[in-house]
Amino acid sequence: MEGYRKERIARGVKARSDDIYAVMSYREMWYLLFPRLVPVVGFTVVAFLLPEYWQKVVVTTCIFAMLAVSWDFLSSCGLLSLGQALFFGLGSYTAGILNHYFHLPIYVTIPAATLIGGFFSTLILLPVIRLRGIYFAMVTLILPVMLGRVIEATRVFGGTEGITGLSPFPNIWVQLAFVIAGMWVALFGLRRFIGSDYGLIFVSIRDNDRATMASGINIYAFKAQALFIGGCIGAFCGAFMTHSYMFTGMPVFAMEYSILPIAAAAMGGIGTLAGPLLGACILVPLSEFLREFGSLRIVFYGLILVVCVVALPEGIFHYLSRKYNEMERWVRLE
Amino acid sequence: MLIYGLVNSAVLALMALGFNLTFGISGVANFTYGAIYVVAGFLAWSLINKFHLPYVVSAALTIVIIGVAGAYLYRFILKRIRGLVISEVIATFGIALILLELLRWAGFIGFNYSLPVFIDGSVEILGTYVDIQRLLVILLGIACISVLYLFTHHTKIGLAFRGIAQEEHTSLSLGINPDRIAALSMGFGSALGAFAAIVILPLGTITVDGGYDVLINALSVCIVGGLGSTFGVIIAAFIIGYAQTLTSMYISEHWVMIVSLLAILVILAVRPSGLLGHQKELEERV
């Protein structure tokens, strides 16, 4: 295309600002609703129509999607976490303990574990909340490994064996409905939250924490809140998985729970919340196909991480939304 | 006890030096470090046992190969994302995962992977028997640190290293190419990692999981000592080394790693820039 350049024009409905739309007709309403409604309805319908084995895969996908969304939320607040397994593990162990030692029913343990897990995640990370960037990343990388070691060393809560025989969900349909609802609530809730005036503070902490402090905002309090929100989502995933597998133990602190969400986010597009979800929906079923390769799967995640970060830093979601929201055409250079 | 603590400290210092060098100079947190350490171990092992090269040759070859590989890793992958902290961390961590899990998949697991010691035998010091290898670790640790000191203070490349570490833009105007220096620092850091692997690994077996442990140890020593400060690393290595030895003697082997975490938490709460982290401003980490 010598002598031409590509011109990009935002569509009229989008032109005013990022989140204010001038909706004039049903066509424009559909234009806005389409990318939101179709995935929500489509995902749910497909999930319920699949055979049972793949429904379990859908549950796992939703769990990882939520972890990825919470990772992305934390990174939008400037908290780069390499240890989503910490949140996951804390939620999982809390649910397991409540169910095993206190014999609480499942509809109590999951909400309770969500809140308690989120609370403990915040509490554990509170001393290092002043850190940012790689320093925070280093600590979060170390923590889940350490907690695994502590449990191994002290032999509390079943030690290396873990806690087995926890109460299961009534059936797979309940599980599916529950986890899919949780995923959409987490995604759209966080999107709305980040878009609000309150959420703006979190984004400003990432963009320039000094300036935010200079504006008289206590950034540590806000970081703690971000951790609590992200931690709660992670803990919910952990609690849900625990009851789904009827087991909790040292594997819940495994590297996979930290790595896959990051890989999903890197693939889908960091900072969009919907992107990581999209990434998880691609990666988890894909890794199910790769199950026969065993531990080579983690190599594959690593490869995706590196390729996406280095070669495709934009991510799928940014690309798609650009194609959807902008018209492109070639114009002759003058 | 005193001596084993000393050995442990030297081991930690050796592990941390390479990581610290790369970070202090180019600002790249090299999460691949643990993987490089393990890869160096296996490389030396296969050079000795598969290609039947003499020990000294294969050790030297390993250090050179790993060093060059580290530099090229920077040249082809990290250079593109320099300065984007999130991307750097994710990319180096991803590379580490690829290397380690590839090794695990390829079947490098078991007890038969161990490097030979330099000199067999043990001597008696203050009533305890110590392998000569452990003494060598201490000696080589000291040697390594002094060579590094001389290198950074009295050679042209070393001075360029320090220049980039202190003020990148000024050094750029003085004709120092930051990318070249950063690649070199990555190469040197990796070579130091390989050196540490060859010196330390004869004390035990080479395991894939060791890669994660090395990374965690290196990170904790560097955080406690203050990232980018070589003497901070030495002091921190002594503190953590003795703390770990005491823990494993009086409490339990399992608690050793937890000591590192506690050290990190205490240091971060009390003195976030580390014990001797003058060079890197406080602002960078909090």
3-state secondary structure chain A: CCCEEEEEEECHHHCCCCCCCCCCCHHHHHHHHHHHHHHHHHHHHHHHHCCHHHHHHHHHHHHHHHHHHHHHHHHHCCCCCCCHHHHHHHHHHHHHHHHHHCCCCHHHHHHHHHHHHHHHHHHHHHHHCCCCHHHHHHHHHHHHHHHHHHHHHHCHHHCCCCEECCCCCCCHHHHHHHHHHHHHHHHHHHHHHHHCHHHHHHHHHHHCHHHHHHCCCCHHHHHHHHHHHHHHHHHHHHHHHHHHHCEECHHHHCCHHHHHHHHHHHHHCCCCCHHHHHHHHHHHHHHHHHHHHCCHHHHHHHHHHHHHHHHCCCCHHHHHHHHHHEEEEEEECC
The yes-or-no verdict on residue A296 having pLDDT over 80 is no
- Give chain A's radius of gyration (CA, Å): 21
pLDDT value, residue A69: 92
Bridging pattern class, strands A4-10 and A326-332: antiparallel
Q: Is B209 on the interface with A (CB under 8 A)?
A: no
Query: Which tokens in the block code for residue A279?
Result: 């990434």
Q: How far apart are CA A139 and CA A128, in angstroms?
A: 8
pLDDT value, residue B269: 66
The yes-or-no verdict on residue A102 having pLDDT over 80 is yes
> Which distant-in-sequence residues (6+ apart) come within 8 Å of B18 by Cβ?
B33, B36, B188, B189, B190, B191, B192, B193, B195, B196, B218
The yes-or-no verdict on residue A316 having pLDDT over 80 is yes
Residues of B in contact with A149 (CB under 8 A): 254, 257-258
pLDDT value, residue A235: 92
Half-sphere exposure of B45 (CA within 13 A, CB side): 20
Q: Which of the following CATH numbers is that of domain A4-332: 1.10.1740, 1.10.1760, 1.10.3470, 3.30.750?
A: 1.10.3470
Strongest mean pLDDT among A65-69, A255-259, B129-133, B161-165: A65-69
Q: Is B272 on the interface with A (CB under 8 A)?
A: yes
Q: A153 vs chain B: nearest CA distance in angstroms?
A: 5
The yes-or-no verdict on residue A1 having pLDDT over 50 is yes
Residue of A nearest to B79 (CA): A310
Domain ranges of chain A: 4-332
Query: Which tokens in the block code for residue A18?
Result: 């990022």
Report, as ranges of residue numbers, the positions in chain B whose pLDDT lies below 50. 279-286
pLDDT value, residue A228: 93
Question: Which one of A306, A307, A308, A312 makes the best mutation probe of the B interface by having the most chain B beta carbons within 10 Å?
Answer: A306
* Low-confidence winner among A57-71, A79-93, A146-160, A299-313 (lowest mean pLDDT): A146-160
Q: B231 vs chain A: nearest CA distance in angstroms?
A: 20
Express each pLDDT in B189-239 by its tens digit.
Answer: 888 888 888 777 777 677 777 777 788 788 788 877 776 667 777 888 888
Q: Is B64 on the interface with A (CB under 8 A)?
A: no
Longest CA span, chain B:
58
pLDDT value, residue B286: 40
The count of CB pairs under 8 A between chains A and B is 120
Taking only residues 149 to 178 of chain B, the set having a beta carbon closer than 8 angstroms to any beta carbon of chain A reads none
Q: How far apart are CA B36 and CA B280, in angstroms?
A: 25
* Low-confidence winner among A71-80, A87-96, B222-231 (lowest mean pLDDT): B222-231
Q: A314 vs chain B: nearest CA distance in angstroms?
A: 11
| Contact yes or no for B101 and A295 at CB 8 A | yes
Residues of B in contact with A82 (CB under 8 A): 89, 93
Mean per-residue pLDDT for A50-63?
85
Q: Is A237 exposed, middle or buried (0-12, 13-18, 19+ CB in 10 A)?
A: buried
Q: How far apart are CA A268 and CA A71, in angstroms?
A: 12
Q: Is A320 on the interface with B (CB under 8 A)?
A: no
Longest CA span, chain A:
76
Express each pLDDT in A187-200 by its tens digit.
Answer: 889 988 888 888 88
Evaluated on CA atoms A110, A113, A119, A121, the torsion sign reads negative
Query: Which tokens in the block code for residue B157?
Result: 């490349």
Taking only residues 68 to 127 of chain B, the set having a beta carbon closer than 8 angstroms to any beta carbon of chain A reads 77, 80-81, 84-91, 93-98, 101-102, 104-105
pLDDT value, residue A306: 83
Please name each of the domains of chain B with its CATH number: 2-112+129-284 (1.10.3470)
Q: Is A309 on the interface with B (CB under 8 A)?
A: yes
pLDDT value, residue B282: 44
Express each pLDDT in A221-239 by its tens digit.
Answer: 888 999 999 999 999 998 8
pLDDT value, residue A103: 81
Contact between B28 and B182 (Cβ < 8 Å): yes
Cross-chain CB nearest to A306 (options B94, B104, B260): B94
| Contact yes or no for B98 and A130 at CB 8 A | no
ipTM for the predicted complex: 0.71
Mean per-residue pLDDT for A287-307?
77
Contact between A267 and A316 (Cβ < 8 Å): yes
pLDDT value, residue A281: 87
| Contact yes or no for A309 and B252 at CB 8 A | no
Express each pLDDT in A8-56 by its tens digit.
Answer: 887 766 555 566 666 677 877 787 788 888 888 888 888 888 887 888 8
pLDDT value, residue B284: 46
pLDDT value, residue B266: 76
| Contact yes or no for A309 and B87 at CB 8 A | yes
Query: Which tokens in the block code for residue B229?
Result: 């400060």
Cross-chain CB nearest to B216 (options A132, A145, A303): A145
| Contact yes or no for B105 and A296 at CB 8 A | yes
Q: Is A156 on the interface with B (CB under 8 A)?
A: no
Its pTM stands at 0.81
Question: Which one of A135, A140, A223 makes the best mutation probe of the B interface by having the most chain B beta carbons within 10 Å?
Answer: A135
